[in-house]
Amino acid sequence: MTIQWFPGHMTRAKRQIQEKLKLIDVVLELIDARVPVSSRNPMIDEIVGPKPRLILLNKADLADPQQNERWLEWFRSFGHEVLAIDANTGTGTRDISGRVKLLLKEKIDRQIAKGMNPRAARALIVGIPNVGKSTLINRLAGRAAAITGDRPGVTKGQQWIRTGGDLELLDTPGILWPKFEDPEVGFRLAATGAIKEQVLPIDEVACFLLQWLATAYRDTLVERYGLTDLPEQLPDIGSAAEVLEQIGRKRGCLAGGGHVDYEKAAGVVLRDLRSGKLGRITLEAPII
């Protein structure tokens, strides 16, 4: 299954970003710490080119802390400058300015050598929808400077934001790539809320999530929903659907005739993941 997803405003955003690059000193690439590879736009290298880049694993407070460390190590092994943050709580965000200065040290030193007073670094913030770009901007600016929301596609245009410190930030709409060749990428992004729920059947997304949880976070799954006789693995969507039915009955997600409303039950599971009620969960592991 190939998932097609490329709204027109995302095409415009890609073009607008490339037009603004000549004004940019550094790129802040936001990814979701729960799905670090799936939430990286494979076109990002093409879009931003050789500009200095700081990768920010956002929503780290929702992700598995052990996996956060593994992912940091993984990105560093490829020579990337990377930092784990949580824009909502502020975790790690105070370190961003210092990391940017390190990335721009040679440029800043040249300016100082010429007797110039270095200006604030101009940073372009890029990432897929609903990854937390606007929340990060507001955190760094210390005010509600950008529109935020818990759904993809909130930011529709570009805007410069002054932080009052060493950074000027350019917010951009989230850009997804034209299609997901690997359906698991689409399911991970749907589970975390990066793409609209209309793109994929919500019950299939929840079943995909349950398959991962049964393997990687079995105790969490059992405890949260009071499951009994949970198999060691859920090898197919049918076995996952049986677990979703258990959850639906326990949570009162019933339709006429006492049948389980699978969409309603799926919504319970996905909301629990996105809100952190399932605990700190990471949906993919690095290959080291």
- Where along the chain do its domains lie? 3-179, 201-275
How far apart CA 208 and CA 240 sit, in angstroms, is: 7
pLDDT, residue 232, reads 84
Which class is 201-275 in CATH? mainly alpha
196 and 152 Cβ atoms separated by less than 8 Å? yes
Stretches in the chain below the pLDDT threshold 70: 1-13, 143-159, 176-180, 288
pLDDT, residue 153, reads 40
What's the fold here for domain 3-179? Rossmann fold (3.40.50)
pLDDT, residue 158, reads 59
pLDDT, residue 2, reads 47
How far apart CA 103 and CA 257 sit, in angstroms, is: 62
pLDDT, residue 66, reads 97
pLDDT per residue as tens digits for the range 25-39:
999 999 999 999 999
> Which residues, 6+ apart, have CB-to-CB distance to 35 below 8 Å?
188, 189, 192, 194, 282, 283, 284
